[in-house]
């Protein structure tokens, strides 16, 4: 696809949050236990019961996930996409996706105009400001350290979280080999990756 359409606009991974999807819980409760339930009632189901329902009907969960693969791109049309769905050890699906968004600007190294257009585009579709997001989204999008963060490592997190924060969107390019601070930055990088 890259040979046909060029570099994708975005590479993303989307994971299922089945215990948070009340419409799914409502649907599975009806299917598995053959009991009608309202959306409000599905909010009050204990976590263990949600897990039982999810494990009882993996087909509905996977189908619900696949039909939910829509992005936060507003009016922008996805002209091409490729995705591969994998299942994590707990059985939950997640998708690795390459997306080509219609009329997205293309980054050209060294071209200030393309840099500005790309950063404006990124600011329109991606945010790291949690004040702009609803509470449910913040809950499922915020990293919490677990045992998998520390697997075989002495570092705090194998994913390198927390990341450096920046005051604005920037496109970072690699340092040139003749940069006098290259060695210093490589040492700093080792501490954070």
Terminal Cα-to-Cα distance of the chain (whole angstroms)? 30
Residues contacting 87, CB < 8 A, separation 6+: 62, 93, 94
Average pLDDT, the chain: 83
Q: Is the pLDDT of residue 168 over 90?
A: no
pLDDT of residue 1: 86
Of all residues in the chain, the percent with pLDDT exceeding 90 is 27
pLDDT tens per residue across span 118-154: 999 998 888 777 676 667 666 767 777 777 777 666 6
pLDDT of residue 148: 74
| Distances 22 to 58, 140, 164, 171 between C-alpha atoms, Å | 16, 14, 34, 38
What is the full DSSP assignment across 178-191?
Answer: T-TTHHHHHHHHHH
pLDDT tens per residue across span 77-95: 889 989 898 887 767 888 8
Q: What is the pTM (predicted TM-score) of this model?
A: 0.67
Pair of tokens at residue 172: 């970072």
The percent of the chain in helix, strand and coil, each rounded to the nearest 5, is: 40, 15, 45
Domain ranges of the chain: 1-104
Q: Can you tell me the distance from the alpha carbon of 119 to that of 74, in angstroms, rounded to the nearest whole number? A: 17
Q: Can you tell me the distance from the alpha carbon of 8 to that of 97, in angstroms, rounded to the nearest whole number? A: 10
């Amino acid at each position: 696809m890259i040979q046909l359409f060029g570099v994708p606009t975005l590479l993303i991974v989307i994971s299922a949050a089945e215990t948070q999807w009340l419409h799914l819980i409502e649907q599975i409760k009806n299917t598995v236990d053959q009991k009608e339930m309202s959306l409000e009632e599905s909010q009050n189901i204990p976590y263990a019961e949600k897990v039982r329902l999810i494990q009882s009907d993996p087909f509905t969960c996977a189908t619900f996930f696949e039909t939910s693969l829509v992005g936060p791109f507003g009016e922008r049309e996805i002209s091409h996409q490729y995705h591969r769905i994998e299942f994590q050890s707990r059985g939950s699906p997640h998708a690795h996706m390459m997306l080509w968004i219609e009329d997205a600007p293309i980054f050209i190294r060294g071209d200030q105009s393309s840099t500005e257009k790309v950063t404006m585009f990124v600011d329109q579709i991606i945010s790291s400001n949690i004040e702009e997001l609803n509470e449910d989204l913040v809950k499922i999008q915020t990293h919490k350290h677990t045992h998998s963060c520390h697997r075989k490592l002495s570092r705090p997190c194998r994913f390198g979280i927390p990341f450096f924060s920046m005051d604005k969107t920037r496109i970072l390019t690699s340092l040139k080999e003749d940069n006098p601070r290259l060695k210093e930055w490589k040492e700093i990088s080792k501490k954070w990756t």
